[in-house]
């Protein structure tokens, strides 16, 4: 392992390497996890760095560390999925379709409500950001902008326009997961870009102050994505290989 300048950077690198390995399944629930001494030898670093990395991974819910019990990997139900690092590790490679389904279910619980609030609050600056994102999506359809970045810009602008501090703090989490989720659903759908027209329906309802219309338009976008994921899960299930299906 290469040495970085500064103990903090080294701690973060060890945390990243161990966290990614845990999420990949390199260390199973009932398998031996290296002791602090073994980790010191493995990474050729001091025990203080390892202890800090263990604290960070414990805070993320990936492991537990107790006297006389040692370090143990926690079930994934204990992982802090709102932690951006955990989310990135989980979504790296080929994430499972059931995981993407769970993420879309979460979005269904949040984004239609954010659309209602945006329509109610009528903050012209925030609505202008949604309009700008739509412009980027339109440009992306002509090959003049990045389709994924434009799509993400729309959805994060919607959260900001809700003026709800809890929703706004989800922007980084939503952005991280959308980079995989949008690519997945677009691939399943067989398109390279999201439909600007469908997103414009959400924007139009917000501008008009139509709270129910904004909710329904946003819900329609997400239920379509959920249906695509469900259909792909069903298709993978017919393969009968017993593995958790991943996106194509």
Distance (Å, rounded) from C-alpha 184 to C-alpha 188?
6
pLDDT for the residue 48: 94
Query: Which of 5-19, 54-68, 136-150, 207-221 is most confident?
Result: 207-221
The two structure tokens encoding residue 28: 């199973």
User: What pLDDT, on the 0 to 100 scale, is given for residue 223?
Assistant: 94
9 or 5, greater pLDDT: 9
Q: Is the pLDDT of residue 245 over 90?
A: no
What was the pLDDT predicted at 5?
47
Q: Top-level CATH class of 94-237?
A: mainly alpha
Tokens 């709800």 label which residue? 164
d(CA 246, CA 236): 8
What tens digit of pLDDT does each residue of 72-130 get? Answer: 999 999 999 999 899 889 887 666 888 889 999 999 999 999 999 999 999 999 999 99
**Domain locations in the chain as residue ranges:** 7-78, 94-237
Judge whether residue 243 has pLDDT over 80. Answer: no
7-78 maps to which CATH number?
1.10.10.10
pLDDT score of 153: 96
Mean pLDDT of 28-56: 92
Q: Confidence class of residue 2 from pLDDT cuts 50, 70 and 90?
A: very low
pLDDT digits (tens, 9 = 90+) for 218-237: 999 999 989 988 988 887 76
Alpha helix stretches (DSSP H) within the chain: 7-24, 36-43, 47-59, 84-91, 97-121, 124-141, 147-161, 165-168, 171-189, 196-207, 211-237
CA 166 from chain centre, in angstroms, equals: 16
Closest by CA to 15, choosing from 69, 77, 84, is: 84
């Amino acid at each position: 392992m290469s040495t970085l300048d500064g103990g903090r950077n080294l701690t973060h690198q060890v945390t990243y390497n161990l966290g990614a390995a845990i999420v990949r399944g390199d260390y199973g629930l009932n398998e031996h996890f290296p002791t602090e001494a073994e980790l010191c030898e493995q990474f050729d670093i001091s025990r203080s760095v390892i202890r800090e990395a263990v604290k960070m991974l414990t805070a993320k819910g990936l492991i537990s560390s107790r006297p006389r019990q040692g370090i143990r990997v926690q079930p994934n139900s204990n992982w802090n999925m709102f932690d951006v690092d955990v989310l990135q590790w989980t979504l790296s490679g080929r994430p499972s379709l059931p995981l993407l389904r769970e993420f879309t279910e979460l979005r269904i619980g949040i984004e239609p409500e954010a659309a209602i609030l945006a329509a109610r609050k009528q903050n012209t600056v925030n609505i202008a950001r949604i309009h700008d994102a739509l412009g980027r999506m339109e440009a992306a359809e002509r090959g003049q902008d990045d389709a994924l970045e434009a799509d993400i810009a729309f959805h994060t602008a919607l959260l900001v326009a809700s003026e709800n501090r809890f929703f706004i703090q989800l922007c980084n989490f939503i952005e991280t997961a959308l980079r995989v989720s949008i690519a997945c659903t677009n691939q399943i759908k067989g398109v390279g870009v999201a439909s600007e027209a469908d997103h414009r329906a959400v924007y139009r309802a917000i501008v008009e102050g139509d709270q129910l219309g904004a909710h329904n338009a946003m819900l329609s976008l997400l239920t379509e994505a959920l249906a695509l994921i469900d259909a792909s899960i069903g298709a993978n299930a017919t393969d009968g290989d017993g593995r958790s299906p991943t996106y194509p």
